[in-house]
Structure 1
């Protein structure tokens, strides 16, 4: 059941010449109760602006946001029943962990016994009980982030809003805190909106992913749908490590394309969809893991090989553009050798050259 809905939501800024610039442009989205939805995209794409409009920190210039059946465009921030976790933690430095947790509840009509119960519950869930008397400066980055999560948790909000909460943590703590947020979501059956530019966070956390670029929602789907069925070249390029290879090729009349010296037959189902593009330039997409390397004399020589222990990332230059291959072998590949590329044609994607939309 739709719990949070965006109906044509836009945020407009004006430059010095009063020209309209859309930070968010006609966003339409439905979020079910209990979902963890991740907004992902590059810096400046509008994801944080959209989050701040839910919270009431940015005015909505066009459209409506509906929460639990009620339009909240004009509802005061304090009455939206929303809790927000920021990138910089926003803790009170002179207050202890327990005092930080209780601060947002002091002006409510809750009895002190209920407040104490909420605080103890949050301390227990976040494993902060032995730290409740410490000040923020006495905590690690991961502990401070847990306190920030706890301050949202005690409010029992309708929606949790998390704005790049892991950006200030090192790699190990990011993994730990990511797991904590996932566990909290399942344990509380909470509705969460999570903003990040990190596709790994998006893929591992989200029930649903919203990919944004230049203020426009590019695609909405599960992590599997976003990865396996990208709607355009932006989504295909943004999601995946390394990114999908996108090469400009001629789609021949016999439904083949040529990448370096390899002639690849387009699968029949895809060829049928692309029949109007025969003889024209298209963008061919293929994931780095869907290309196999075979050692061969006088083959293609790598420009660079990155050895990552469990895999090698190999970079080639071809007439159609740079080509990246991911080889899941644990030994370091030899840059001095040459290779023949074998493409899994069943994993090919075709996009319209002019606008990047998937065929």
Structure 2
């Protein structure tokens, strides 16, 4: 029956999970000096204290995409069809380029060339060329001439664009595009069964790129996978298990991130924010520390949610103790090691 799923159905399914997940609060970014939050308008906060610095930056322009350039400056796409760069050092902004349509995502490579993520492929802004692959790593999913909206995307230090997809009980998908050679790369997944895992985020440390994934279907589980030279290995896999005579759920792993301040990996699950030091054996959940469990709201029927805590789409570590996160219903929050406060 699964083999008979049509591409149209999968597109609708993906739209239901991915588009809703980012409706109310469209983005968050941390630059050298500031925390930026987009709710259509741009809001700027002090990176050290979390205090508001500026509200509704950019006049009447609505912003719907956020990323950074190679120097760490904020780059946003606006309803005026301009790509704006906000320069931290001078507190000024400038137009980098113009664009058409409404892309799903945007990244800049190490030379600040702009790439758009669209339904029809990855578009290079400078040349207008569109690059597309219909090679699915998930044998349950057939792709014809469009992808739908990826749940997450990322460009790594080698200028490779990673696209992650989630199809609920039908797992996930992964595309890797090399912007230097202009080709799609095929990873060696090894024991990472992508047909089981909807992908939630990408991040990297000094040596490798990682993906996080979580699933609630019959049971609750999550996984973090490490890619060394495109070869996958499982860093952490959390599944349901017996505890005190009862079945305890695994960690539904959502967004994850890396903090270079102390070489730690952070992830968010239905139980809160966890932190693990890379010097420990992170394949064991007991070596991860539960840092904080925020109280967030939830509505029945929302996608990718395991009870009230789990509607977080982004997690960014600032240093050893501080982080910011973005939730669907409640907006953006800042944690300074002791206090958890909303960025509003």
TM-score, normalised with respect to structure 1: 0.26
Greater RCO, CA 8 A, separation 6+: 1
Larger helix fraction of residues: 1
Compute the TM-score of the two structures, normalised by the length of structure 2. Answer: 0.27
**Structure with greater proportional strand content:** 2
